[in-house]
Structure 1
Amino acid sequence: MKKSFFFITSILMTIIVLIGFSPSFLLRPLFTYEELPIAYIIHGTINLIWFVGLIYQTYMIAKGKIINHRKMGYKIFGWVILMLLSNLYIIYLTAIRYHAGELSLQAASGVTVGNMIGLLFSIIIISLAFTYRNKTKVHKRLIFIFSIGLLGFATDRIGRNIIPLTDQTIINGLVMSVIIRNLFYIGLIIYDIKKLKKPHYLTIIGILLPFINLAIIFLLLQNGFGEKFLDLFN
């Protein structure tokens, strides 16, 4: 098997997901007696399977089994639809919890608006990845960007719950996400320079995308969109 940057990073991403979601999901009984609602268990499992599929797909490429990769690819893109629907349902549950008085306006607004904008970006990226599935350089970087986006939920939890850098929970999650995400992108830039002699344009877009995402979320929240969005579920 030839060396594969994307195979190695898919393994690293999966390890990070396992670490990030151990306290709240995978090893929850060791950390709390509070049971996790079935909807969140299904949601977590669906998203975890994406990373398992990512390892398989990058392994097939590393082994040169392109036909196997393409056959499984169609099934995985079908699975992505289930992932997106699951994320939509979690947004809905968050809104319901807010109206039931379980979450504050600030917390519910941040989660719902943040997840909705992230979901829209994810739909665009994965749609482009499917459209350009026969253009290898474009396709694999779009899948990389999509996976890094999903990874943000795990890195946030690592910063909040496992390796707190400050006494500010939100800042911890954000800082850890930026650190881990940029480490992956530094690796991709090095890979690009070795293969292409310069960073691929999608690598640059991938680095900038989270900042664009955060700017949009901030503007929406500052203009009261979060409360208006939550009221749609009332």
Structure 2
Amino acid sequence: MTKNFFYFMHTVLLALVFLGFAPSFYFKPLIADQPFYPNGLPTPHIIHGVILTVWYIFLVVQARWIKVKAISTHRKSGWFGAVGAVLVIASTVWVISLFPDRMEALAQQTHSTVEELEPNLLQILWLDIFMSTLFVVFVLTGILKRNTPHIHKRLMLYTGIVYLFAATFRLGGIIGNLTIPVLGLATSVGLLLGLTVSLLVHDYRTYKKIYPVSWICFVLYWGFTALSFFVAETEIGRELVDLLQK
């Protein structure tokens, strides 16, 4: 499994995305009376979901080309990925900008409040912003380091990990509803921690050292995650919702 590590990891990421979003996106038309989207998914969310799905599939395919030693095909396909990355960021920014108003509309439709529907609205917004920043950094650096395989492949792995929190939190929510909330949270965080730590373990087991790029990605990911929650609690962080609603 060591030599197929990155292909395996990208496949796991895609599987988690599918499992996390199956009820609210992929199988949405088959699920009646879905309370969170009583009037169906908004068009921007559908477009964003399709683009992100294609991105995760693209990462699996690219890793597969490396696995079967189709290096030339991998490199040629990479430029399609550059275009895809632009679409990922554009659609994410689009959805972020609409999120507060969307939650207000949902609150009215369900005769509830935004706080009841999504008490962590600010944290989610800032986590999206910080993860989008990391996505841009990892993609651009990955392109610049495309001729340095051990750096490039680790950066591209993290372009999939940065947005995975949305899927793992949904999986955790399902588990929390079936059991107890704390178990759901532990599942969400545990999955992300396990995925990020697994790269460090892979490096050490395979090369008897941990590549600096692996440490850097790990620290940036968890550092930005912590920073997003900190900023969300500040006055500036709270003003974001007002800004987006103007």
Equivalent of 2:99 in 94, 99, 103: 94
Aligned Cα root-mean-square deviation (Å): 2.4
Gaps of 5+ in 1: none
The equivalent residue for 2:21 is: 21
**Correspondent of 1:149 among 157, 162, 174:** 162
Contact 1:109 1:227 in 2 (8 A): yes
Q: What TM-score do the two structures reach when normalised by structure 2?
A: 0.84
Which has the larger displacement, 72-81 or 173-182?
173-182
Matching residue of 1:214: 225
- The residue number in structure 2 matching 1:226 is 237
- Distance of aligned partners of 1:189 and 1:219 in 2 relative to their CA distance in 1, 3 Å threshold: closer
For the pair 1:128 / 2:141, whether they are aligned, the reply is yes
Q: Quote the residue 2:86 is aligned against.
A: 81
Distance 1:109 1:181 in 2: 20
In structure 2, the partner of 1:7 is 7
Aligned-residue sequence identity (percent) comes to 27
1:117 aligns with 2:122: no
172 and 88 in structure 1: CA distance in 2 versus 1, 3 angstrom threshold: farther
The one of 174, 190, 194 equivalent to 1:179 is 190
Alignment of 1:204 with 2:215, yes or no, is yes
Query: C-alpha offsets along residues 165-196 of structure 1, whole Å, 9 cap, x if unaligned?
Result: 8644xx65643232112322343233212432
Could you tell me which residue of structure 2 aligns to residue 44 of structure 1? 49
CA contact (8 A) 2:130 2:225 kept: no
TM-score by length of 1: 0.88
Distance 1:191 1:160, change over 3 A: same
CA contact (8 A) 1:112 1:226 kept: no
Aligned to 2:111: none
Note closer, same or farther for the CA distance 1:185–1:116 as it changes in structure 2 (3 Å cut): closer
The alignment status of 1:68 with 2:79, answered yes or no, reads: no
> Letter of the aligned partner of 2:97 in structure 1?
Y
Cα deviation for residue 132 of structure 1 reads 0.8
Query: Is the Cα–Cα contact under 8 Å of residues 155 and 177 in structure 1 kept in the other structure?
Result: yes
**1:31 is matched with which residue?**
31
Q: How big is each residue's C-alpha offset from its partner over 1:121-159, in whole Å with a ceiling of 9 and x where there is no partner?
A: 211121111111111110000111221112221111100
Query: In the TM superposition, what whole-angstrom CA distance separates every residue of 1:82-138 from its partner, at most 9, and x where no partner exists?
Result: 010000011111133356684349543222222112111211121111111111110
* Contact 1:47 1:83 (8 Å CA) reproduced: yes
Task: Kindly indicate whether the alpha-carbon contact (under 8 Å) linking 1:159 and 1:165 is maintained by their aligned counterparts in 2.
Answer: no
- Relative distance call for 1:98 and 1:37 in structure 2 (3 A) is closer
Distance 1:188 1:112 in 2: 27
How many Å apart are 1:217 and its aligned residue? 1.6
In structure 2, stretches of 5+ residues that fail to align are 108-113
Distance of 1:208 and 1:61 partners within structure 2: 27
**Alignment partner of 1:232: what SS?**
helix
